[in-house]
Amino acid sequence: MAADPKEPAGAVAPRRWGLGDVLLGFAVAYGLTFLLQPLVLAATGVESGADSSSWPLRTIALLQIPYDGGLLVVAWLAVQRKGSGLVRDLGARLRWPDIPIGLAVGAVAQLLGNLIYLPLYKLTSVTEHDVAKPARELTDKASGNAAGVLLLVLVTVVMAPIVEELFFRGLVLRSAEKRWGMGWAIAFSSLLFGVTHFELLQLPPLALFGLIAALLTVRTGRLGPAIWAHVGFNALAVATLLL
């Protein structure tokens, strides 16, 4: 990611990438995950056909790599071959104030996400036990597993924020903007970010974070604040999970 906040000089190529590249990104990401899953299971000592709920933490973390790798490669190829690159097309730039501001915003977004559930508890049969189930399962896997915890931190707090912001607040947001305008693009990219995590009860806070990250990106014109907000959001979740 470029540290220089200014746009580089030179001609800007027409941006021919779009929602088709977004679909290709998901196809490659899920395809790679499916193809490499047997290898990851074998490498981490998991029997083929074992229920995913029994997979160890290292297996879950390693399977995130082909998914994020697929998204990253497709986004990079799209803007390199059909545009002017990650910096010009997707705003992959950073200013040093983005770090503290982004971390603070991400932490606040995590806390706000927890507050969303309060009316849900009162109006529906959903309980805190239901919402916390995925976190509890990961907590059980993390117990006494230092290597798995380290891998989880590297994947969720370092890799995922960079890759997913380049894809969702970069390629998805800008592709949708070209098709429907900025308002719908923000809504679409935020909801899509939540849906692709495949956790129905976690959808509201994830979509809320997607909305906040999209607004940061649009407001600043760069991905730096959103990436660091994502770091803060995930780091607080992991810290809460482990502590």
Residues 123-157 have pLDDT tens digits of 888 888 888 777 777 777 776 778 878 888 899 99
pLDDT at 216: 97
pLDDT at 11: 58
| Of residues 152, 157, 185, the one with CA closest to residue 169 | 185
pLDDT at 132: 77
Report the alpha-carbon distance of residue 80 to residue 76 in Å, rounded.
6
pLDDT at 211: 98
More confident of the two residues 85 and 122: 85
pTM of the model: 0.92
pLDDT at 4: 59
Q: Which amino acid is at 169?
A: R
To the nearest 10°, report the CA torsion of 178, 179, 182, 186: -110
**Chain segment 100-118, per-residue pLDDT in tens:** 999 999 999 999 988 988 8
Cβ–Cβ under 8 Å, residues 206 and 160: no
The predicted model gives 18-36 an average pLDDT of 97
Residue 84 has pLDDT above 70, yes or no: yes
HSE (side-chain half, CA atoms, 13 Å) at 15:
22
